[in-house]
A and B are shown apart, each in its own frame.
Chain A
Amino acid sequence: MNKITSREALEAAYNASKGELMLRITDKHDLNSKKKDILCCGGTGCHASNSQEMMENLRKYIKENGLENDVRVVQTGCFGFCAQGPIVKIMPDNVFYVQVQPEDAKEIVESHIVGKKLVERLLYVEPALKERIHDYAKMAFYAKQQRISLRNCGLINPERIEEYIANDGYKALAQCLFDMTPEKVVLEVLNSGICGRGGAGFPTGLKWKIAAGVKTDEKYIVCNADEGDPGAFMDRSIMEGDPNSIIEAMAIGAYAIGAQRGLVYIRAEYPLAVSRLQIAIDQARACGLLGKNIMGTNFSFDIEIKLGAGAFVCGEETALIHSMEGQRGEPTTKPPFPANIGGGYWGCSTNVNNVETYASIPMIIRNGASWYNKIGNWKPEWDENGNFKRTISGSAGTKVFALAGQINNVGLVEVPMGTTLREIIYDIGGGVSGGREFKAVQTGGPSGGCITKENLDTPIDYGNLAKIGSIMGSGGMIVLSDKDCMPAMAKFYLDFTRDESCGKCTPCRIGTRRMLEMMEKICDGNGTEQMLEDLESLAKTIQDTALCGLGQTAPNPILSTLRYFKDEYLAHVRDKKCPAGTCPKLYTLTITDGCIGCTKCKRNCPVGAITGELKQKHVIDTSKCIKCGACIDGCPKKAIVKG
């Protein structure tokens, strides 16, 4: 691509590239079209399910059929429907295939591409309709979504900047540089109502306003891509599927606050995201969209990647800054805030935002604050100049949630704020997996809390979640069923925060350990009722006294499960029973008279704890049993019970 040295050059690049997406952004769905794009998901999940090999096979058969000039195989970012991956979408035919394996490539090419006949067995079965459908817009999973920050994921090839430009990429940056003053950009973001999508929910525009107000020669803008909440993967998907949106947004932010340098702090555990982002930065630099005098203006800006090294606390902005400086990622008290001189990267004024926040910014600039703030359930109060003053209720825009756990449609969903949990779990998520009963959803990961059946109809926004004792967090939603033990979940999260506590402040370092010890006793059947009171009081003390967000929120899973599932705790401490049957010390496995002596369990048992002759009832030696459950999974008569 030629260097883009002016706004006209960007327009020319757009005109030259827009044909790239002609087959994909169209309402004219046509199975008979000679030209086709086969879009294949190249996200981490599908990658792990052999999507790479499948793509190679598709290319091979296309070549064998002499179609390589008309049919392109394109690797895109994540479609979000991870439960059904690997995903293949053929355009302009508008046909969506699921769970496509390498060996299916031949049939797709020969039947669909050559023979114009859909491969029925690879179409998605819509549970509500009980029939196979090919149009993704009719799938309940997609129908209620509104994809803004995920707009390019599953549409463009993230390794080609031309395709990003073809879908109006960098137009928002041009608009800022040529039509708007930095103050105007800040106001636009402020009035859009967008709040930090990393979890804390601080208004992004306000953050930018504060940073812009600091007068200094050296200022930094940082992207927090240290997605540490286990179970949340939207930031990873955006970086893998649409890295240019982050670059463009950071450039916009830099222009707005007056920064010269950008840094992306990204987890080393996401190698694919790192490589895609690096490719995008290199390409943007090569065509002059990063570097000196961007698009011929006097605005210069460049971005550098900083790798994390596996520390959850580095998601906290002061810890993140220390880590970028090559130190231990320990937080410091605020103020000074990163925006203040002395508080940021090398003591310079620094503005930190999250990946998902950035991904929404170009859309806000292009469509305007008043477009964005009407999405969702936001009710703001405006000042005399018509600018944002305060939030009365609700939140603006959309939020991406990562659905995982005991749910049918594991994946990424983007919905307007104010959508209810019921809609997310049942309409989009397809309900609890295995036909089990819904128990709770854990939001906000190790810093969050649970939402129970009673609150399924609460519209989801920052304020409402806080009211019911949870937090938005980064948007991880772990669905739990009746077979999940709530004290054990709380223990799991606590084990995580205890492990990730940086050790700087005492409440977090020692407090999380003491709480974990109590939780272990409870789950092992050695707890007392007094312990529940001690646990609660210690939890509240830690909330009040820990130095940073990690420690202050570490007790949330405990307090929230104590609040909603006290009965389960009492069953553990009073009756020494685990109602969900998951705490290994609180049950034994026994074989009932239903046993037909098929010997399957005996063969499955990894420790040889089961004895018995063929066609005779078998017996489990409880002293040897490690409660792995392999016998239960294999028993054809369901004759092995927990008790």
Chain B
Amino acid sequence: MSCNKLSEGAAAKFAELDTFIEGLKIDRDDERRRGYLIQVLHRAQYIFGYLPREVQIHVAQKLFLSEAQVSGVVSFYNYFTTKPKGKYNVNVCLGTACYVKGAEKVLAEIERILGVKADTNPTADGLFSISALRCVGACGLAPVMVVNGKVYGKMTPAKAAAVIKEIQDKEAAAK
């Protein structure tokens, strides 16, 4: 599955990543070249949407690091994901302020509607994926949900369902 996704314009994406890496002028003999790794992975995830094994291997080669070193870093940090996201990634904040205000119920409702769990695979139509995140710092609007960068505040299970419905309707109309 991930291979199919990756092949869509993959060459152009790798080229974009390479241009970025070349701009860093990494010296093979520099003991500190590893310091660029997280920065490069951020860019790679921005370009590809996620970090499948092919991308990790590519980054390892370009930075003259071992694949294990790259994979170790990718698996350590929550921000990096090895699974593709849906067209709409629904992030539900599970920070303390949101938790106290009922974020768990919002998340449960979204998981129920979409039939997928947070931080797993996207829905079968590839439209949605769900992520649980920790605190976007908009605690005044708790509980908070972020869909593709847009913040929705003071959520309830019903309001969250309405947001999902709105996106589904929009997508259906576009078809």
Assembled-state Cα–Cα distance A109/B170 (Å): 35
A234 to B151, CA, bound (A): 19
Check if B121 is an interface residue, CB within 8 A of chain A: no
- Given A269-B136, A628-B109: A309 touches B41 (CB 8 Å cut-off): yes
On whether the beta carbons of A626 and B42 are closer than 8 Å, the reply is no
Q: Does B175 contact A (CB under 8 A)?
A: no
Contacts of A45 in B (CB 8 A): 137-141, 153
A-B Cβ contacts below 8 A, count: 147
Is there a chain A Cβ closer than 8 Å to B105's Cβ? yes
* A85 to B153 Cα, complex, angstroms: 12
A606 CA / B157 CA spacing, docked (Å)? 9
Q: Does B12 reach chain A (CB closer than 8 Å)?
A: no
Are A410 and B105 interface neighbours, CB within 8 A? no
For B106, the closest partner residue in chain A by CB is: A628
Measured between alpha carbons, how far is A633 from B97 in the docked complex, in Å? 20
A204, CB-defined interface residue at 8 Å: no
Q: Is the CB of B34 within 8 A of A327?
A: yes
Q: CA A44 – CA B139 in complex, angstroms?
A: 10
Contact partner of A326 among B73, B94, B97, B134, CB < 8 A?
B73
Residue of A49, A326, A405, A411 most packed against chain B (CB within 10 A): A326
Q: Does B7 contact A (CB under 8 A)?
A: no
| Interface presence of B88 (CB below 8 A) | no
Kindly identify which residue among B36, B76, B156 contacts A633, using a CB–CB cutoff of 8 Å: B156
Please determine whether B139 and A324 come into contact, CB atoms closer than 8 angstroms.
no
Distance (whole angstroms) from the CB of A399 to the closest CB of chain B: 17
Measured in the bound complex, the distance between the Cα atoms of B112 and A628 in whole Å is: 11
Shortest A93–chain B CB gap in Å is 25
Cβ contact within 8 Å between B76 and A328: yes
The answer, among A232, A307, A445, A496, for a CB contact under 8 Å with B38, is A307
B113's nearest neighbour on chain A, judged by CB, is: A606
Check B109 against A48 for contact (C-beta < 8 Å). no
Q: Decide yes or no whether B4 CB sits under 8 A from chain A.
A: no
Interface string of A617-643 (1 = CB under 8 A from B): 000000000101110010000000000
User: With A236-B137, A269-B135, A629-B105 known to touch, is A476 a contact of B35 (CB < 8 Å)?
Assistant: no
Q: Known contacts being A404-B96, A606-B161, is A626 close to B108, with CB within 8 Å?
A: yes
CB atoms of A323 and B157 under 8 A apart = no
Is residue A21 contacting chain B, with contact meaning CB distance below 8 A? no
Q: Which of B36, B136, B157 contacts A630 (CB 8 A)?
A: B157
Chain A residues contacting B153 (CB-CB under 8 Å) are 45, 48-49
Verify A326–B36 contact, CB threshold 8 A. Answer: yes
Minimum Cβ distance to chain B for residue A216 (Å)? 16
B9 within 8 A of A: no
Nearest-CB distance from A222 to chain B (Å)? 13
Q: Is the CB of B42 within 8 A of A309?
A: yes
Known interface pairs A47-B151, A48-B141; A480-B100 also in contact (CB < 8 Å): yes
Question: In which size bucket is the chain B interface?
Answer: 35 or more
Asked whether, in the complex, the Cβ of A269 is within 8 Å of the Cβ of B76, the reply is no
The answer to whether B144 and A48 have CB atoms under 8 Å apart is yes
A233 touches B135 (CB 8 A): yes
Residue A502 at the B interface, CB < 8 A? yes
Asked if A426 is at the interface of the complex by the 8 Å CB criterion, the answer is no
Q: Mark A344-381, 1 if CB is under 8 A from B, else 0.
A: 00100000000000000000000000000000000000
Q: Which residue of B lies closest to A403 (CB)?
A: B139
Q: Are A404 and B137 in contact (CB under 8 A)?
A: no
Q: Which residue of A lies closest to B65 (CB)?
A: A326
Contact: B112 with A626, CB < 8 Å?
A: yes
Chain B residues, CB < 8 A from A411: 140
Q: Bound complex: CA of A310 vs CA of B99, how far in Å?
A: 19
A628 pairs with B105, CB closer than 8 A? yes
Bound Cα distance A406, B139 (Å): 11
Q: Roughly how many angstroms separate A140 CA and B88 CA in the complex, as a whole number?
A: 42
Closest to B34 in A: A326
B47 at the interface (CB under 8 A from A): no
**Contact at A492–B137, with CB atoms within 8 Å?**
no
Check if B34 sits within 8 Å of A406, measured CB to CB.
no
Which chain A residues have a beta carbon within 8 Å of chain B's beta carbons?
44-45, 47-49, 82-83, 85, 227-233, 236-237, 268-270, 306-312, 323-329, 346, 402, 404-406, 410-411, 442, 445, 476, 478, 480, 484, 489, 492-493, 496, 502, 604, 606-607, 626, 628-630, 633
Please list 27 pairs of residues, one from A and one from B, whose beta carbons are closer than 8 Å in the complex, sorted by A's number.
A45-B137, A49-B153, A85-B140, A228-B134, A230-B134, A233-B137, A269-B133, A269-B134, A270-B137, A307-B39, A308-B38, A309-B38, A310-B78, A310-B134, A311-B78, A312-B134, A325-B34, A326-B35, A328-B72, A328-B76, A404-B100, A405-B97, A411-B140, A445-B96, A478-B96, A628-B105, A629-B105
| Nearest 3 CB-CB pairings of A with B | A82-B140, A230-B95, A48-B151
